[in-house]
């Protein structure tokens, strides 16, 4: 297990929370892919490169949500993967409806860069995908 991988992912999450897109892009591999959240609306979609990922976050935040926060609860390091358990808070634009979910992402790291992110609406599914549960 590599504490460096977990720290890299922490840096990535913190940069994203600040919307520091330049720093976020620095942490990504040139062949980076973000896969749509399993169990979510974007399931099956693939975003390639920093630009597509940033566009997706900015579009989602600007169109759907008045407020959106991803609050990391735990970073679990497994070989070349880091599982981030999150609490996700959203308030709908216009409707004001508030939602809170415990979600997760599995982040693959290679040579000090993030190469793949897969989101999960179900934390147990993320843990299973990373080999941390049966």
Mention the CATH class of domain 3-129: alpha beta
From residue 14, give the alpha-carbon distance in Å to each of 26, 70, 98, 103.
Answer: 13, 10, 23, 17
pLDDT at 1: 44
Q: How far apart are CA 32 and CA 1, in angstroms?
A: 22
pLDDT confidence tier of residue 95, bands split at 50, 70 and 90: confident
Write down the mean pLDDT value for the chain. Answer: 89
In the chain, where the domains are located: 3-129
- b/e burial code for range 6-41 (CB count within 10 A of at least 16 → b): bebbeebbebbeeeebeebeebbbeebbbbbbbeee
Q: How far apart are CA 65 and CA 3, in angstroms?
A: 33
pLDDT in tens, 44-70: 999 999 988 888 777 655 566 777 788
């Amino acid at each position: 297990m590599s504490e460096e991988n977990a720290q890299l992912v922490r840096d990535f999450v913190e940069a994203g929370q600040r919307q520091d897109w330049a720093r976020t892009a620095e942490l990504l591999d040139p062949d980076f892919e973000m896969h749509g959240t399993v169990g979510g609306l974007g399931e099956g979609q693939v975003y390639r490169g920093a630009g597509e990922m940033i566009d997706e976050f900015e579009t989602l935040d600007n169109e759907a949500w008045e407020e959106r926060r991803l609050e990391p609860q735990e970073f679990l390091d497994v070989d070349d993967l880091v599982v981030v358990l999150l609490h996700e808070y959203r308030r709908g634009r216009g409707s004001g409806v508030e939602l809170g979910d415990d979600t997760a992402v599995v982040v693959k790291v290679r040579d000090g860069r993030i190469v793949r992110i897969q989101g999960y609406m179900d934390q147990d599914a993320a843990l299973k995908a990373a080999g941390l549960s049966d």
